[in-house]
């Protein structure tokens, strides 16, 4: 169903702390999803890798034991929750696709609990404290009727442009989702500070994270929902002081305006009401898509422009 058929959509972003026990983390996720649904949310978004601690601070082959197939125990639990509450739910799973192939996967569940689609994270970072290339194979397709690449997932609340964390720094991802008809951009996230960074650097990093995503909203005239985790998680190797996840989950409208924003330390259910007609209205007076010079963009496919 397109958002063109509805006037408003109640959405919620879940900002939570996580545990080294998967069942404890999932119980927290479930309680917060129930709170969101009780408040009227029709679409609920969980953060990246919400079932576990952020294990990518180190490289450890034992961590692969946390991965699950889809369908599997976590997807089945989230499926039952979506069906019980009658909501569209976006969860996050460390997916075991086959021997040696694992993905960071966002799964979208319909109101009847069926899997509407899944998105396997395309851009995989490899930075100090974020060693994701060790664990995750880049996504090669959005499982949505066999379509590949950056393809919106069709649901009863609209066409969801689901991306994951590091994807949020790439304007190409957001634009391709928009060109394919996405009506929302969604970024489940796990990002935080090195605890040794000074306050000014921390402020710059946070501001950059918020600004780039608001830019995607503005450039594509689409609402953005960005749930991030919160809390300080230790470095299993004890080589650093760990990561302090900065929260600040937010929901913004298609001109980048804040509709709701969380703080940097609280576990919370962030809610907002989206006006489903605003994208069409704004695109009539800010016609970025009409004026794109597609004849002049060929070099965007090059790694470096010589």
Instruction: Tally the C-alpha atoms within 13 A of residue 260's C-alpha that lie toward its C-beta.
Output: 21
113: alpha, beta or left? (left if phi > 0; alpha if psi -120 to 50): left
Catalytic-residue membership of 121: yes
> Token digits for 181?
């008809």
Quote the CA–CA distance of 292 and 295 in Å, as a whole number. Answer: 9
In terms of residues, how long is the chain? 306
> Token digits for 303?
């790694």
Q: Which of helix, strand or coil describes residue 116?
A: strand
* Residue/partner pairs of 138-145 with CB below 8 Å, 24 or more apart: 139/103, 139/105, 142/117, 142/118, 143/115, 143/117, 143/118, 143/119, 144/116, 144/117, 144/118
Catalytic-residue membership of 276: no
**DSSP-assigned letters across all residues of 21-81:** SHHHHHHHHHHHHHHHHHTT-SEEEPPTTTTS--GGGS--GGGGGG-B-SSSHHHHHHHHH
Among the listed residues 42, 48, 68, 95, the single catalytic one is 48
Among the listed residues 68, 110, 121, 183, the single catalytic one is 121
Among the listed residues 56, 165, 252, 276, the single catalytic one is 165
Quote the CA–CA distance of 272 and 13 in Å, as a whole number. Answer: 9
Catalytic-residue membership of 165: yes
Catalytic residues: 48, 121, 165
């Amino acid at each position: 169903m397109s958002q063109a058929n509805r006037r408003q959509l109640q959405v919620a972003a879940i900002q939570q702390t996580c545990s080294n026990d998967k069942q404890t983390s999932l119980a927290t996720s479930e309680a917060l999803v129930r709170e969101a649904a009780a408040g009227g949310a029709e679409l609920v978004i969980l953060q990246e890798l919400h079932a576990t601690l952020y294990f990518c601070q180190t490289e450890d082959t034992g961590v692969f034991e946390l991965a699950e197939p889809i369908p599997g125990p976590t997807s089945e639990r989230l499926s039952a929750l979506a069906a019980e509450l009658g909501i569209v739910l976006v969860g996050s799973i460390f997916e075991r696709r086959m021997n040696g192939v694992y993905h960071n996967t966002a799964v979208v569940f319909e109101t009847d609990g069926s899997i509407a689609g899944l998105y396997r994270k395309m851009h995989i970072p490899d930075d100090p404290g974020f060693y994701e290339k060790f664990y995750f194979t880049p996504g090669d397709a959005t499982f949505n009727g066999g379509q590949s690449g950056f393809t919106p997932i069709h649901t009863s609340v609209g066409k969801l442009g689901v991306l994951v964390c590091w994807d949020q720094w790439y304007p190409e991802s957001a634009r391709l989702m928009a060109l394919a008809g996405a009506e929302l951009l969604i970024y489940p996230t796990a990002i935080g500070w090195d605890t040794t960074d000074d306050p000014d650097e921390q402020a710059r990093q946070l501001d950059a994270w918020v600004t780039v995503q608001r830019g995607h909203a503005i450039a594509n005239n689409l609402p953005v929902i960005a749930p991030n985790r919160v809390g300080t998680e230790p470095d299993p190797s004890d080589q650093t002081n760990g990561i302090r996840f900065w929260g600040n989950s937010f929901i913004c409208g298609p001109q980048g305006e804040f509709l709701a924003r969380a703080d940097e330390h609280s576990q919370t259910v962030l809610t907002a009401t989206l006006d489903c007609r605003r994208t069409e209205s704004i695109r009539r007076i800010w016609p970025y898509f009409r004026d794109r010079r597609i004849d002049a963009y060929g070099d965007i496919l090059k790694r470096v422009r010589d």
